[in-house]
Amino acid sequence: MNLVPLLKFKWKRHFGCINIFILLLASVHCSAQNTGPDTVKVGIYITSIHDIDFKQKEFTATFWLWLRYKNLELDFDRYLEIPQAKTVNKSFSSTTIDSTLGTPEAYVLLKIQCVMKDSWRIENFPFDVQKLRISVENSQFDSSALVFVPDTLGENYDKRFTLRGWTIDSCLLSVGIKTYETSFGLDSTTKPISKYSAFRVRLSMHREAMGIFWKLFLGMYIAFLIAFICFFIHHDSMDSRFGLSVGSLFAVIGNKYIIDSSLPETTSFTLVDTLHGLTLFFIFIVIAATTYSLKLSKTHRGEKGDRFDNRMAVAMGLLYIILNIWFIYRANES
């Protein structure tokens, strides 16, 4: 019996099965690649940060934003989202299709000006460091269909633009997933959770504080000095000593209300609260020391009263200066 034709037949049948198996694997691999999320390369160039409003917790940013992607169904000109933006104004929009590499690729260039809402850290005001945040999302597709990739080539902000009173330390780009605890009304979802890819910009900057510090606190320090010189007024003018001390007390309180009116409300104890509270406490000590000095003068011990005033003046002056330097230094370094 000739076995050669039979072996050839079996070999061809097995070879055909192997080819079918390879084709099935290739089709599964291709389908797995096709079901992956679209990648969008996104970059930003900030041209201006201005109108920083601490009371309203907002700032205005002007920037160029560009996006590159291959899925031509994406429409960023229409579905671009900037969360936490109070207003968004697109002054320029351009979309071009690049086919030089074979596969068509969309290039979108936008110029945007938006008023952003943000939270401020004012514990160390005016020696504060702020982080301004801008986030970009696409409301058309969630993270299962679209993900961002940052374009880190080149600079991300114009170093020549003037932000009066501030110095920019860094500009960091990152991507992440923004989770919304809702299904947006879709009953087919098993959990009320929606996830969207987010492109994030964090601009870190610190305030040039010494000028504004003396503008804000000069009145407070002058009020304390007026109360402090009461130690050098003779006991015969006790009414003047009490009057100056009480007047200084109200001057410090008024200065604090003026500063607080320009800052957002906060539950934390800030440097402004610390310095004004310290000054009020020391003025109260001046009033208490004046009362005790009056008592000494009434008992015909004027020399002892003068000695008490001199010692209190030296002790309070040094302690007040040391505490102010310590609190200011700690705020400036943190």
The pLDDT of residue 57: 87
On whether both 81 and 201 belong to a single domain, the answer is yes
The pLDDT of residue 179: 86
pTM metric for this prediction: 0.75
Q: Closest Cα to residue 57, out of 132, 101, 120, 1?
A: 120
- Each of the 334 residues of the chain gets a pLDDT tens digit; together they read 444 444 344 444 444 444 444 444 444 344 444 557 888 999 999 999 988 888 888 999 999 999 999 888 888 888 889 988 999 999 898 888 887 777 888 899 999 999 999 888 888 999 988 899 999 998 888 888 889 999 988 889 988 876 788 888 889 999 999 888 776 766 665 677 888 899 999 999 888 888 889 999 999 999 999 999 888 877 777 777 788 888 999 999 999 999 988 888 888 889 999 999 999 999 999 988 888 887 777 776 667 777 888 888 899 999 999 999 999 999 988 7
Residue 23 lies in a domain: no
Whole-number CA gyration radius for the chain = 35
- Helix, strand and coil percent figures for the chain, each rounded to 5: 45, 30, 25
Instruction: Give the range of the structural domain holding residue 118, as residue numbers without chain letter.
Output: 36-208
Which of these three, 176, 208, 240, is where a domain ends?
208
The pLDDT of residue 222: 94
Residue 17 lies in a domain: no
Number of folded domains in the chain?
Answer: 2
On whether both 149 and 43 belong to a single domain, the answer is yes
Residue 255: C-alpha distances to residues 101, 217, 258, 319 (Å):
66, 8, 5, 22
